[in-house]
Amino acid sequence: MDIGSNVTPAPKMKSPTLLRKSHRKIIISYIILTFLSLPLFFMYLWLFLSSISSEMVAGIIPKQITFENWRFLWENVEVGSRQLPSIWLATWNTLLLAGGLTIIEVIISVMAGYALSRMEFPGRTFFLRSVILLHAFPSVALLIAVFYVLDTLGLIDTLWGVMLVKAALQIPMSTYIIKGFFDDVPWDVEWSALIDGCNRIKAWYQVVIPLVKPGIAAISIFSFLAGWSEFLLLYTFIFDDQNITLATYLQKIIGDFQMVDYGLLTAAGLFYMLPVIFFFIFTQKSLMQMNMGGNKRV
């Protein structure tokens, strides 16, 4: 990269001016960035304020604090003439879905990632290439056929069905990520365990796995959040109120957007977001890294 050739000749400037100029640049950048981020800031501020107030002035200033909006925690909410199931049922189902998805995804991708990283077998290059291809493949376009597959398997309208489909959509990416972690484990470590008399499985389980714990933590958080936030698959494949989840619960309250009860909606939305906020604050670093891997929102 040749910089010298293209730049304008240096103006004669003393360093204090230079300093002041760069200060001004930083301040302007702060102003622009803050201005751009204002809508975001207000959106999330509103989410919180609206959930604890009964009436708002100018859309965002609370007039009166109330906990009436949080009534869904202790009673079943009615929307129109229809009574929604308990929020705790929805929470339990969401937890089941996210937890189950995490377990399935971690087990499958750790096994596949290790095989792809450390073992030589026919078709290995082909598999690796397809992992990347599958990661890029727009799986939502296949939803109709997936519906048919689930229907044939008798898994329509079950959380299991959604869990398996979601796992299938996610494993190419988590396999690829965990493979990278396995690649970083020095072969010597595993070799010495083998020499000490471990067999391959034991060496993998006792020596290699503990070394990729950060990777496992990262894909666990990622898949838990993905399961927790899932909407489209639940909306498409689940009909029974017994299988309601927080996403579909909220969607049912939004319903007809002409007559929205924002107080109730924001309270329920905030309740739904609690684990996301928790992970966001405490595991920001891994979240940022995960998104580098090209997480696409289906």
Partner 1 sequence: MKKWVLPYLMLTPFLLLVLLFFVTPVVITTIMAFTNMDYSMEWNFIGLQNFEKIVSDPNFSQIVFNTFIYVGFTLLINVFFALLLALLSSYYIPFEQSGLFFRALWMLPRITPPVVYVLLWLWIFDASEYGLLNTLTSFFFSNDPIAWLIDHPMTAIILVNGMVGASFGMIIFSSAIQSIPRDLFKAAQVDGASEWSVFKDIILPSIKWPIMFVTVWQLLSLLTSYEYILLLTDGGPVFESEVWPLYSYHKAFKNLEFGYGSALSLILVIIAILLTGVLLKLFKFNRMIQSSRIE
3 binds partner 1 (CB under 8 A): yes
79 binds partner 1 (CB under 8 A): no
One-letter amino acid for residue 224 of the chain:
F
Site residues for partner 1, 245-264, by CB under 8 A, read 246-247, 250-251, 254, 257-258, 260, 262
- To partner 1, the closest distance from the beta carbon of 242 in angstroms equals 20
CA angle 178, 184, 187 (to 5 degrees): 115
Q: Which residues contact 258 (CB under 8 A, 6 or more apart)?
A: none
- To partner 1, the closest distance from the beta carbon of 82 in angstroms equals 18
**Environment class of residue 147 by beta-carbon count within 10 Å: exposed (0-12), middle (13-18) or buried (19+)?**
middle
Site residues for partner 1, 133-192, by CB under 8 A, read 133-134, 136-149, 151, 164-165, 167-169, 171-172, 175, 183, 187
25 binds partner 1 (CB under 8 A): yes
Contact in structure between 203 and 194 (CB atoms under 8 Å): yes
107 binds partner 1 (CB under 8 A): yes
CA distance 186 to 256: 57
- To partner 1, the closest distance from the beta carbon of 214 in angstroms equals 18
Q: Would you say how long the chain is, in residues? A: 298
Size of the site for partner 1 (CB under 8 A): 117
C-alpha separations of 99 from 123, 155, 215, 240, 280 in Å = 32, 18, 18, 21, 18
287 binds partner 1 (CB under 8 A): yes
The residues pairing with 57 across neighbouring beta strands, listed in sequence order, are 61
Copy the structure tokens of residue 10.
């240096």
Q: Which is nearer to partner 1, 67 or 235 (CB)?
A: 235
Q: Which is nearer to partner 1, 206 or 291 (CB)?
A: 291
- To partner 1, the closest distance from the beta carbon of 291 in angstroms equals 5
Q: Which is nearer to partner 1, 82 or 200 (CB)?
A: 200
